[in-house]
Amino acid sequence: MAMAQVKPPGPGGGRQVLESMYSMIALVFILVACVELCDAATVVDVYRLIQYDISGAPFGSRLANLNHHAGSLHFAPGSDLSRTVLIIPLRELNISFVTEYITQKQPLGGLLFLLPQIFSIENRERATSNHQIDGEVPMKNYLAELEKLLIHSKIPYPVYFAFEDDDIEAVLADVKRNDVSGQPATATTGGYKLVVSVPEPKKRASPTITNIQGWLSGLKTDGDANQLPTIAIVASYDTFGAAPALSVGSDSNGSGVVALLEIARLFSILYSNPKTRGRYNLLFGLTSGGPYNYNGTHKWLRSFDQRQRESIDYAICLNSIGSWDNDLWIHVSKPPENAYIKQIFEGFSSVAEELGLNVGLKHKKINISNPRVAWEHEQFSRLRVTAATLSELPVAPELLESTGSLVDGRPFVNETAIIRSVKLVAESLARHIYGHEGKNVQIFADNSSLAVNPSYIKSWLDLLSQTPRVAPFLSKNDPFILALKKELEDNTDEVNVQHEVLDGMFTFYDSTRAKLNVYQVASVTFDLLLLLVLGSYLIVLFSFLVITTRGLDDLISLFRRPTSRKVKTA
């Protein structure tokens, strides 16, 4: 019985051996590859400066690969830095030096900026006290200045951002010491080598922008022959910054998105009961393409037909309402004498008075021939829809300014400001919808079932502050976009998602984050020296062994053999 179970070693066994051999060889290759990849002293996450073109004109850092020696700001003046990467901590930043270097197009191997941990988007666990934030205000200004410089320059070498941590600080201290002692790192004197190996950055073909809209229907009684009027509340959710992998835009425009979601939630509670449903439709729009002259809003409005557009009574756009103290601005493009504008402004002012804050009105005319769209409401105005933008910014930002930069992080946004903004907008809209203008009625009073929910705002703000949202790098089915869609679905009747392609004026390139390997290298002279020492060691060993085992004569005879042979033959 046992014999029948024994397999005879035949061709099957041979194949097994062969297979195990192949797997062994594969294992060896994997081992070799693994060890080759992870033998750096330090590996740091780095984020690349954005690379983009505006109508073909290149901006940002044009290279991604890095393989040069590290240097610090203490380099000897006049030394050649074309094969050196300068590590510049933000705390020691000399903005004039960097400006000079970039504008004069001096050759450099690369730039690595070290940012304090407060700007990290993964820093949520550490509670940032107000004292810490106040201490970082000068940092904030330097960083803002630096960003503005970098975004608008064309830099032919790689520029990366990293966050301070112990490893890289130790490396920097070492590099500084070497530089101060007058030994800059080159191939022959050793030091540290910074290596980033990523594929060549490629253009992102057809970047998509996604607009999400939620529709809350008003109460249509049988007597109404026409369509109900609509009020639109719009906020753009995408960002643009110096490092696309870090552009979370907590204030611009995370605060607007959070406020919009909270307003949608409050009105959905009101509208769920037919007794409290208003006689206005509410349209909530989360648009993309904000930094690029509100391209997404333009395409979204174009997708409406004439009747729908005419039914929009007015639109309120929310832009940066997260870090103000007492003053908000309503920006309009129609003249303030216009009846509709007056009505909107008065409604907001009366609520603002009750809440104890100031609202001012700013008028900026639009120039149809100028493609620059500074505020979102201008896209509405160009299509003859009354609109206004509520913002803490007193003046219109320039192109690519206030669009969610590196300094726009969670520690610098105030939930209280957003809560007050939500109260202002919701109360003003509700009084207009239900016809209680001018009356001292608190619809969304605190401690009521319609109170603004601070934890809702906080949790959405936290989420937004951890999600970089640069539109070309957000795919159609990005989980964040789906989350926004689901949230609107929960709070509105009908949700539509519109996918469009970003207009051709802007071109973006990928490769936004990488891993930096820091190697400590010895110089070539060291290797040669070691070779010399080893060679002499082996020679001495050889002579020693010959002398002790065969005698000194043998050693000498080793060198004299040719002559002794000559003597023999002669």
Partner 1 sequence: MTVFHFFNCAILTFGPHAVYYSATPLSEYDTLGTSIKAALVYLGTALVKLVCLATFLNVSDSESFDPYQELLKALIGFIDVAGLYFALTQLTHRNISQNHKFQAVGLGWAFADSVLHRLAPLWLGARGLEFTWDYVLQGLEANANLVLSISLAAFGSLIWLRKNKPRTLVPLIYICAGLVATMPSITSYLSRGWGWHFLDVVVFELGTSLVMALISWWLVAQCQRPSA
Give the CA dihedral 292, 293, 297, 301, nearest 10 degrees: -130
Are 283 and 217 in contact, with CB atoms under 8 Å apart?
Answer: no
Nearer to partner 1, 144 or 546 (CB): 546
Give the one residue of 30, 41, 76, 441 binding partner 1; rule: CB under 8 A: 41
Nearer to partner 1, 33 or 445 (CB): 33
Output the CA torsion sign for 412, 95, 161, 105.
positive
Nearer to partner 1, 355 or 541 (CB): 541
Contact code string over 542-561 relative to partner 1, x by CB under 8 A = xxxxx--xx-----------
Does 534 help bind partner 1 (rule: CB under 8 A)?
A: yes
Contact code string over 512-531 relative to partner 1, x by CB under 8 A = -------xxxx-x--x--xx
Which 20-39 residues touch partner 1, going by CB under 8 A? 31-32, 35-36, 39
Nearer to partner 1, 97 or 537 (CB): 537
* Residue 292 token pair: 């690029």
How many residues in the shown chain lie near partner 1 by CB under 8 A? 29
Say what angle helices 454-464 and 256-272 make with each other, to 10 degrees: 140
CB of 189 to partner 1, least distance (A): 13
- For 4, residues 6+ apart whose C-beta sits below 8 A from its C-beta are none
Nearer to partner 1, 121 or 194 (CB): 194
- For 257, residues 6+ apart whose C-beta sits below 8 A from its C-beta are 235, 237, 286, 460, 464, 484
Which 144-203 residues touch partner 1, going by CB under 8 A? 190, 193, 195
Nearer to partner 1, 358 or 543 (CB): 543
Q: What are phi and psi for residue 99, nearest 5 degrees? A: -60, -45
Q: Using CA atoms, how far apart are residues 491 and 495, in angstroms rounded to an integer?
A: 10
Nearer to partner 1, 18 or 534 (CB): 534
Are 423 and 137 in contact, with CB atoms under 8 Å apart?
Answer: no
Nearer to partner 1, 123 or 517 (CB): 517
CB of 194 to partner 1, least distance (A): 11
Which 449-478 residues touch partner 1, going by CB under 8 A? none
Q: Which residue is listed with tokens 């610098």?
A: 412
550: left (phi over 0), alpha (psi -120 to 50) or beta: alpha
Stretch in the footprint of partner 1 (CB under 8 A) among 148-156, 397-405, 409-417, 533-541: 533-541
Q: Using CA atoms, how far apart are residues 55 and 519, in angstroms rounded to an integer?
A: 40
CB of 41 to partner 1, least distance (A): 6
Q: Write out the DSSP string of 128-173.
A: PPHHHHHHTHHHHHHHHHHHHHHHTSEESS-EEEEE--HHHHHHHH
CB of 476 to partner 1, least distance (A): 40
- Which residues would be at the binding site for partner 1 (CB under 8 A)? 31-32, 35-36, 39-41, 190, 193, 195, 519-522, 524, 527, 530-531, 534, 537-538, 541-546, 549-550
